[in-house]
Structure 1
Amino acid sequence: MTERIATTTGLFPLPDHAKSTLSDLKGHQKDDLISGDEGDDIVEEYDRVRAEVVERQRAAGLDRIVEGQLRWDDMLAHPLCVHENVETRGIVRYYDNNNFYREPVVRGDLSFSGDVASDLEKTAALAGDEALQAVLPGPYSLADLATDEHYGDEAAFLDAVADFLVGEVEAFPEVETLLLLEPSLVEHAPGDGTDARASEAIDRVAGATDADVIVHAFYGALTEKVHAHLLDADVDAVGYDFVNDHDRNLYNINEYGTTDDVALGFVDGQNTKVESSDLIRERVEWVEESTPGASFERTYLLPNTETFYLPVNRFEEKLDALGAAVAEEEVTA
């Protein structure tokens, strides 16, 4: 029987009480934040709320614990926005929605940062024996969200971003799973040549860890060629957004195959309607029945997108539904 794993895409919504506290603290420390130096009070508040979301995931019965990325005000662009050789400029729309991020402009070498690893170390201490899942932007999406004023060539810039992420991954504590979020593969699909380079960049990042690696593309479905190139990367699972486009995702799996493990985004990360655990299981079974040529060894159940769009109460209810979907499946197995 296929093993099912309940997890998330990270980038959790910030609880209201923390949002208010951090807004006040950041207002008082604006100059420090511009220079990338968070004050002790801000660090302590993030530490406190990180502990809350780790405990909340545990209570929901999730099989993988993520850090939550509560500091990521710039969403997937965050790892570059806090880099010393990156200048953040004007506000840019985050894909095709009403969220915005500061434009990261790379003006020097993308040397090692360690920002994400530092947060993961704290999360590992909180998670104890729970399996830890790291969340990162994939190299193609991170390059797509940034502006290059240093490397001077699209291919060279993608390589530099991939090398930067490799360095970050190599500094991680032990993690069970690495989730690379690659919405730009759908939203701004790479053309001929770039599609192969994107796959090679993902392959390099995946090769930097012994953890199981999931590449999750969302906001729709991959083009046939991009999907085929992604399967060339040595990753353990490809993720599919079955909320926004179930027909083309099903077509890609049936026509071109997929990885032995798969991640299925059937929980809507942008809609407040909460899916029941029964509905989640039914949708997963539908995919399994509709892909007769595939035999998944492990299926990750997760939201189709990041979850920072959701009100906290609805987000937590979706966590509970994901955990229950797997727990109830184990009871009836």
Structure 2
Amino acid sequence: MTEYVSTTPGLYPLPDWAKDDLSDLKGHQKHDLISGDEGEEITAAYEEAREEVIGVQEEAGLDRIVEGQLRWDDMLAHPLAVHDAVETRGIVRYYDNNNFYREPVVQDDLGFSGDVANELEATAELTDGDLQAVLPGPYSLSDLATDEQYGDEAEFLGAIADFLEGEVDAFPEIETLFLLEPSLVENVPEDGQDERASEAIDQVASATDADVVVQPYWGALEEKVYAHLLDADIDAVGFDFVANQDDNLYNIQEYGATDDVALGLADGQNTLVEDPEAIRDRTEWVEGQLGVTEFETVYLTTNTETFYLPYSKYQEKLAVLAEAADLAEVTAA
């Protein structure tokens, strides 16, 4: 019987109090931030905010607990933006929306960082729930970065994959790893590059015994990209059914799917809060469209990060996902 798991792709909005406090603190410590030192007060504020969002997830009843990525001011570029081998430069538009990040320019060989592992270690101390790690996928991270060290697109993607593999290898025990790959949709890899992207994802996924979910979003993967992605040794592909139902269904019907699947059925950017019954019904609809296909695990999630939402709406979305998974379990039984 299918197991339904409620989770999110992470990248949560800051609690309202933390936005105000951190804005003031960062304004006073601008020089320290440029040099990479967040300072004790900023660190303490992030720690308090992390504890709060973990509590929100537990209260909602989510099946997987994420750290929240509240320090990730540069969004998916964060693991590079805080790396010693990287210089952050001007502000760059994050794909085609109104969020921005500092351009990470790789100027030296990418060695081990441990930044995300440290966040996960802190999270593990705060919860007894099943832990889920969140990382940018290697293709998206290479797409968002600028290379001034390796000099070759394929070599740079390989270096990013090596870097992420090392980071994952340092993680504490986790149940699930979400690799976020919006660039697979937004900046479609060309012939040859699509196969290398799949190989890079496979390399990162192989660094953990946890279940690995690759979640593209803001649309559907092109057919060749999807077919190559299925060659990677991953447990699930995520589908953004908010942005594109038809093409995502076509990919599954035409090329098959992994044994597990992540369904992005709640809108991570829209303040309208769905009913749990509606999410359960959409889940049944997707499964019905696929006929005989039955997944071992179905992850019910928002289609994108919830960073864009007001804090109260993000809290409501989490509760909806948890209840929808419970309803799906009951219906399936």
Query: Which TM bucket (shorter chain)?
Result: over 0.9
Does the 8 A contact of 1:61 with 1:327 survive in 2? no
2:97 aligns with 97
- 5 Å-filtered alignment, 1:267-278, equals 267-278=266-277
Q: Which residue identity lines up with residue 260 of structure 2 in the other structure?
A: D
Q: Distance in 1 between matches of 2:328 and 2:193?
A: 41
Q: Distance in 2 between matches of 1:272 and 1:307?
A: 10
Q: Distance in 1 between matches of 2:101 and 2:310?
A: 19
3-state DSSP class of the match of 1:126? coil
- 5 Å-filtered alignment, 1:53-64, equals 53-64=53-64
Q: In the alignment, is residue 165 of structure 1 matched against residue 178 of structure 2?
A: no
Q: Distance in 1 between matches of 2:286 and 2:328?
A: 16
Q: Deviations over 1:175-216 (max 9, x none)?
A: 000000000000001010000000000000000000000000
Q: Distance in 2 between matches of 1:293 and 1:223?
A: 24
Q: Which residue identity lines up with residue 5 of structure 2 in the other structure?
A: I
Q: Distance in 2 between matches of 1:49 and 1:244?
A: 30
3-state DSSP class of the match of 1:280? helix
Does the 8 A contact of 1:132 with 1:177 survive in 2? yes
Q: In the alignment, is residue 122 of structure 1 matched against residue 122 of structure 2?
A: yes
Deviation at 1:293, TM superposition (A): 4.2
- 5 Å-filtered alignment, 1:287-326, equals 287-326=286-325
3-state DSSP class of the match of 1:88? strand
Q: Which residue identity lines up with residue 153 of structure 1 in the other structure?
A: D
Q: Deviations over 1:207-250 (max 9, x none)?
A: 00000000001110000000000000000000000000000000
- 5 Å-filtered alignment, 1:218-229, equals 218-229=217-228
Deviation at 1:331, TM superposition (A): 4.6
Q: Distance in 1 between matches of 2:240 and 2:329?
A: 24
Q: In the alignment, is residue 14 of structure 1 matched against residue 14 of structure 2?
A: yes
Q: Distance in 2 between matches of 1:329 and 1:246?
A: 20
2:212 aligns with 213
Q: Which residue identity lines up with residue 257 of structure 2 in the other structure?
A: T
Deviation at 1:272, TM superposition (A): 0.5
1:84 aligns with 84
Q: In the alignment, is residue 65 of structure 1 matched against residue 65 of structure 2?
A: yes
Q: Distance in 2 between matches of 1:329 and 1:162?
A: 36
RMSD between aligned residues: 0.8
Q: Tell me, which stretches of 5 or more residues in structure 1 are unaligned?
A: none
Task: Give % identity.
Answer: 70
Q: Deviations over 1:94-131 (max 9, x none)?
A: 01100000000000011100000001000011012x10
Deviation at 1:65, TM superposition (A): 0.1
Deviates more, 1:318-327 or 1:230-239: 318-327
Q: Distance in 1 between matches of 2:205 and 2:223?
A: 22
Q: Which residue identity lines up with residue 287 of structure 2 in the other structure?
A: E
Does the 8 A contact of 1:196 with 1:229 survive in 2? yes
1:112 aligns with 112
Q: Which residue identity lines up with residue 29 of structure 1 in the other structure?
A: Q
Does the 8 A contact of 2:280 with 2:327 survive in 1? no
Does the 8 A contact of 2:140 with 2:184 survive in 1? yes
Does the 8 A contact of 1:214 with 1:263 survive in 2? yes
Q: Distance in 2 between matches of 1:208 and 1:96?
A: 32
3-state DSSP class of the match of 2:306? coil
Q: Which residue identity lines up with residue 65 of structure 2 in the other structure?
A: I
Q: TM-score, normalised by structure 2?
A: 0.99
Deviation at 1:37, TM superposition (A): 1.2
Q: Tell me, which stretches of 5 or more residues in structure 2 are unaligned?
A: none
Q: Distance in 2 between matches of 1:331 and 1:54?
A: 26
3-state DSSP class of the match of 1:274? coil
3-state DSSP class of the match of 2:317? helix
3-state DSSP class of the match of 1:127? coil
Q: Distance in 2 between matches of 1:209 and 1:9?
A: 18
3-state DSSP class of the match of 2:126? helix
2:238 aligns with 239
Q: Deviations over 1:12-40 (max 9, x none)?
A: 01111001101111111111110111101
Does the 8 A contact of 1:268 with 1:304 survive in 2? yes
2:144 aligns with 145
Q: Distance in 2 between matches of 1:294 and 1:96?
A: 34
